[in-house]
Amino acid sequence: MLLGTTVLLLLLGGAGQASAHAALRGADPADGAVLKTAPRSITLTFTESVGLIDDTFRVFDPGNGRVETGEAQHVGGRSDTARVTLPAKLGAGTFTVAWRVVSADSHPIAGAFTFSIGAPSATLATVPSGPVEDPAVAGLHKLGRYLAYGAAALLIGTAAFVALCRPPDVRPLRGLLVAGWWTFTASTVLLLLLRAPYETGAGPAQALDPSGLARTLAGRPGIALAARLLLLAAAAALLLRQRGRIRPTRATAVTGIALAVGLALTWAAAEHASAGIQVPAAMASSVLHLLAMAVWLGGLTALLTLLRHGTLPAAVAARFSRLATLSVTVLAVTGAYQAWRGLGTLGALTETTYGRTLLAKLAAVGLLLLAGVWSRQWTGRLVRTETDHTQVTDETDVTDVTEQEEAEMPENQLVVKVAAAVGVSAKEGVAARTPADAPSPPVGGRSADGPPLTPAEHAHRRALRRSVLAEVVVSVVVLGLTTVLTGTLPGRAQAEAATSEQSVGLPVASVTMVPFDMSSAGAPGARGTVQITLDPGRVGENSVQAVVYGPDGGFATVPELRLSFSLPGQDIGPLDAKITDRSGYWAADAVNLPLPGTWEMSVTVRASEIDQVTETKTVRITR
């Protein structure tokens, strides 16, 4: 019942937020557009669906005043759009629009652009060019995600190890289950509290704001985290019910599998798999990938724990070896599919951050596989050595029993030795001769008075412990790279962003401040600053606006202003921008900069017939 409710909430709740690193496809008005009349609204279109927040749109007039707007909403129910209404009378000049939305994988994206009414003008509006998230919140959020992945592997993997590998002594593993549950729960609570400031770009202090928490619980990421807490509560009840039992019952095993699938769904329903192409297949692949990772890495930790306690029979190690092989197979198949879905092209492997991070993860997984092969070899040797030693010991014990020893030997021990000699299992022999209320012999390992380990067995166990330890260390690196990968723009989405009209998260115009000084004894105040705006600051045609400010920071007029561009590395220029006086500012509608690179921009300011100065600044032009 709980799992069904969780799945329903994840798939249907918060449907307005479902994207995977959406990229801005276009805007109306377009960036840099000059309109004759004021628009009634601003509309953004994205490559995927996006979620809206209270501060999705911020519109500033030329004087940096905040324009009152309506509430942000989707257009016609289309979740890949965002629209805000504007007041009827905006005035004239250049307006700046800063926008911010949230993708379904929990990462906010932001950007800015300008449009003008009547004619372009000087603007005092500035948009922060720093990171989209608050650095402290972003760091805590990454830490929470890493702890959540590690705790999921520890909890799910240890439980699977107990159920499928059947170790005779589970007491050393109870601490892993408890630590995994508490870490999983604490990291989920941390992520839930950080959700609101992470989306809005606020500081850590906003994590305890009740209104922010309420908004979080209304969106898909918040619903997924809340569902995870409910599933963890159910998992705690299941662990308490299982306490004191060595083997889980069939009902307990089925319930545990359902809870594990539900926990994996809380990731799949709120990250890259929840949008884009082939969503059902992607979500199924994501769930299987996460579960296989948890069974493998969590099982390794359980295996190492039993090795350190000296309570690991060779048969248990052999069972885990087969389970790990199955997990690796699932990881390979689902990982290949997810890599294809995220990259889009082979070139993205080396040309994008997502691809390079994926290559690093693949290298780490390769090291993990080599360590696994090493462990599998030592496991096989341990099984053979222990089997041979047991057979030899059993035969020696039976043939060496004298009549006096037989008389003094406890009945149960004698039955075991005789049964081994005549080909009857020890279990059957003891069952036939042991009363119902007698203590059972040890299961799965050697008893305290059993034969000691041989030097070969000691050596094999030490080697197996070292190889498993190496696997655990590399698995920590794999988990870290997985956390980074889930927070990186996929190569397919990055390619879409590159072909969009605007780049996500970056200012779309290049603004350069050029100070000048022509002060002299006769003209002590002949100094100021020229603000040069190059829009969009990319290869091809650009519009240029230049505004002159006096020493007091106010607007100033000059009789002449000239602007030219040169690219010394390619022996291009100087190219005259041919800017003209537009009654308060200087501008040119089309300046063609044919190549990317670091251009030199020369600004000549003439204050009188004899007083002029030329200053040079560099400007970066991109494709």
Q: Please tell me the total number of residues recorded for the chain in this structure.
A: 623
pLDDT (0 to 100) of residue 549: 83
Q: Is 43 exposed, middle or buried (0-12, 13-18, 19+ CB in 10 A)?
A: middle
How far apart (Å, rounded) are the C-alpha atoms in residues 269 and 194? Answer: 19
Contact 622, 596 (CB under 8 A): yes
Q: In which order are the strands placed within the sheet that holds 597-606?
A: 572-576, 560-567, 597-606, 612-621
Does residue 187 surpass a pLDDT of 80? yes
For 603-615, write each residue's pLDDT tens digit: 998 877 777 888 9
Helix 135-165 to helix 314-343 angle (10° resolution) is 140
- Give 349-377 as a DSSP string: HHHSHHHHHHHHHHHHHHHHHHHHHHHHH
Query: Where is average pLDDT lowest: 132-136, 342-346, 391-395, 482-486?
Result: 391-395
Confidence category of residue 432, pLDDT binned at 50, 70, 90: very low
How far apart (Å, rounded) are the C-alpha atoms in residues 228 and 185? Answer: 8
The residue whose two tokens read 């992520």 is 191
Confidence category of residue 434, pLDDT binned at 50, 70, 90: very low
Q: In which order are the strands placed within the sheet that holds 33-35?
A: 33-35, 108-117, 93-102, 57-60
Q: Greater confidence, 100 or 357?
A: 100
Does residue 84 surpass a pLDDT of 90? yes
Per-residue tokens: 476: 């920590």
Q: Greater confidence, 382 or 265?
A: 265
> Which residues neighbour 337 within 8 Å (Cβ) at sequence distance 6 or greater?
281, 282, 285
Does residue 126 surpass a pLDDT of 80? no
Contact 202, 208 (CB under 8 A): no
Q: How many helices (H) and strands (E) does the chain have?
A: 15, 17
pLDDT (0 to 100) of residue 129: 57
Residue 162, CA distances (Å) to 93, 156, 246, 299, 470 in order: 70, 10, 8, 9, 22
pLDDT (0 to 100) of residue 114: 87
Does residue 184 surpass a pLDDT of 90? yes
Q: Greater confidence, 161 or 133?
A: 161
Taking Cα atoms as reference points, which of 245, 254, 260 lies closest to residue 290?
260
Residue 244: CA atoms inside 13 Å, Cβ hemisphere, count?
A: 2
Residue type, 218: A
Does residue 112 surpass a pLDDT of 90? no
Q: Is 267 exposed, middle or buried (0-12, 13-18, 19+ CB in 10 A)?
A: buried
What φ, ψ does residue 534 adopt, rounded to 5°? -110, 115
The residue whose two tokens read 């870290």 is 480
How far apart (Å, rounded) are the C-alpha atoms in residues 487 and 145? Answer: 10
How far apart (Å, rounded) are the C-alpha atoms in residues 308 and 440? Answer: 26
Taking Cα atoms as reference points, which of 620, 576, 614, 586 lies closest to residue 600?
620
Does residue 229 surpass a pLDDT of 90? yes
| Signed CA dihedral, 67, 68, 74, 76: sign only | negative
For 17-32, write each residue's pLDDT tens digit: 233 456 788 888 988 8
- Which residues, in sequence order, are bridge partners of residue 546? 532, 586
Does residue 345 surpass a pLDDT of 80? no
Taking Cα atoms as reference points, which of 260, 254, 249, 251 lies closest to residue 177?
260
Per-residue tokens: 261: 């699938």
Average pLDDT (458-487) is 70
For 576-595, write each residue's pLDDT tens digit: 988 888 877 888 888 888 88
